[in-house]
Amino acid sequence: MPIWRRNHQVEKERHVKANAREYNDKFRYADNRIKTSKYNIFTFLPVNLFEQFQRVANAYFVVLLILQLIPEISSLSWFTTIVPLVLVLAITAIKDATDDFFRHKSDQQVNNRQSQVLIRGSLQSEKWMNVRVGDIVKLENNQFVAADILLLCSSEPYGLCYIETAELDGETNLKVRQALSVTSDLGDVSKLMDFDGEVICEPPNNKLDKFTGTLLWKDSKYSLDNEKMLLRGCVLRNTEWCFGMVIFAGLQTKLMQNCGKTKFKRTSIDKLMNTLVLWIFAFLTCMGVVLAIGNTIWETWIGRKFEVFLPWEQFKNSAVFSGFLTFWSYIIILNTVVPISLYVSVEVLRLGHSFFINWDQKIYHDQTDTSAEARTTTLTEELGQVEFIFSDKTGTLTQNIMVFRKCSINGQTYGDAYDEFNHRVEITEKTACVDFSFNPLCDKGFRFYDSSLVEAVKQEDPAVQEFFRLLALCHTVMPEEKSEGNLVYQAQSPDEGALVTAARNFGFIFRARTPETITLCEMGRSTTYQLLAILDFNNVRKRMSVIVRNPEGKIKLYCKGADTIIYERLNPSNEEIMYTTSEHLSEFAGEGLRTLALAYKDIDEDYYEVWMKKLHYASTVIENRDEQLAVLYEEMEREMKVKLASCCLHPCIGWSGLAAADSLSADLLKLLGATAVEDKLQDGVPETIACLNLADIKIWVLTGDKLETAMNIGYSCNMLRDDMNEVFIISGHTLLEVKQQLRSAKEQILGLSRVSSSGDVEKADMFGEDSVFEETIIAEYALVINGHSLALALEPQLEHMLLDLACLCKTVICCRVTPLQKAQVVELVKRHKRAVTLAVGDGANDVSMIKTAHIGVGISGQEGMQAVLASDYSFAQFQYLRRLLLVHGRWSYFRMCNFLGYFFYKNFAFTLVHFWYGFFCGFSAQAVYDQWFITLFNIIYTSLPVLAMGLFDQDVNDQNSLRYPSLYKPGQQNLLFNKRQFFLCTLQGVTTSFLLFFIPYGAFSAVVKEDGSNFSDQQTFAVTIATTLVIVVSVQIGLDTHYWTAVNHLFVWGSLIVYFAILFSMQSYGLFGLFPNNFPFIGAAYNCLSEKGVWLVILLTTTVCVVPGLVVSFLKVDLFSTLTDKVRYLQQSRKRHGPQEQSLRRVRRTSSRRSGYAFSHQQGYGELITSGKNMRRSTVSSACSLEKTTNGSNWIGNVLKRKNEVSCSSQEFIAAPEGNSSATKTPRQQQTD
Catalogue the active-site residues. Answer: 392
Q: Distance between CA atoms of 773 and 1170, rounded to whole angstroms?
A: 57
Q: Distance between CA atoms of 859 and 867, rounded to whole angstroms?
A: 7
* Among the listed residues 276, 339, 348, the one whose alpha carbon sits nearest the alpha carbon of residue 81: 339
Q: Distance between CA atoms of 894 and 955, rounded to whole angstroms?
A: 8
How many other C-beta atoms can be found within 10 angstroms of the C-beta atom of residue 796?
6
Question: Exposed, middle or buried: residue 826 (CB in 10 Å: 0-12, 13-18, 19+)?
Answer: buried
Q: Distance between CA atoms of 1096 and 1099, rounded to whole angstroms?
A: 5
Q: Do 1167 and 991 contact (CB within 8 A), yes or no?
A: no
For the chain, the 3-state helix, strand and coil shares in percent, each to the nearest 5, are 45, 15, 35
Q: How do 781-786 and 811-815 pair as beta strands?
A: parallel
Q: Do 1155 and 589 contact (CB within 8 A), yes or no?
A: yes
What residues does 123 pair with on adjacent strands? 118
Q: Distance between CA atoms of 251 and 31, rounded to whole angstroms?
A: 8
Q: Is the dihedral of CA 1039, 1041, 1045, 1051 positive or negative?
A: negative
Helix axes 56-68, 341-359, angle to 10 degrees: 140
Cα 24 from chain centre: 39
Phi first, then psi, for residue 219 (nearest 5°) are: 60, 25
Q: How do 555-561 and 594-603 pair as beta strands?
A: antiparallel
Q: Distance between CA atoms of 130 and 366, rounded to whole angstroms?
A: 38
Phi first, then psi, for residue 592 (nearest 5°) are: 80, 20
* Among the listed residues 1092, 1096, 1109, 1090, the one whose alpha carbon sits nearest the alpha carbon of residue 985: 1109
Sequence-distant (6+) residues with CB within 8 A of 361 are: none
Q: Do 1029 and 1099 contact (CB within 8 A), yes or no?
A: no
Residue-wise DSSP of 852-907: HSSEEEEE-SSS--HHHHH-SEEES-TTHHHHIIIIIIHHHHHHHHHHHHHHHHHH
Q: Distance between CA atoms of 934 and 1190, rounded to whole angstroms?
A: 85
Q: Residue 818: left if φ>0, alpha if ψ -120 to 50, beta else—which one?
A: beta
Q: How do 114-119 and 136-140 pair as beta strands?
A: antiparallel
Which parts of 1018-1143 fold into alpha helices (H)? 1018-1040, 1046-1066, 1069-1074, 1084-1089, 1092-1119, 1123-1133
Q: Distance between CA atoms of 1093 and 12, rounded to whole angstroms?
A: 85
Residue-wise DSSP of 87-152: HHHHHHHHHHHHHHHHHHHHHHHHHT-EEEEEETTEEEEEEGGG--TT-EEEEETTPBP-SEEEEE
Which amino acid is present at 1055?
Answer: S
Measured between its terminal Cα atoms, the distance across the chain in Å is: 71
Helix axes 943-952, 1018-1040, angle to 10 degrees: 10
Q: Distance between CA atoms of 188 and 183, rounded to whole angstroms?
A: 11
Q: C-alpha distances in angstroms, 653 versus 603, 632, 658, 768, 980?
A: 20, 11, 13, 60, 81
* Among the listed residues 204, 245, 235, 210, the one whose alpha carbon sits nearest the alpha carbon of residue 30: 204
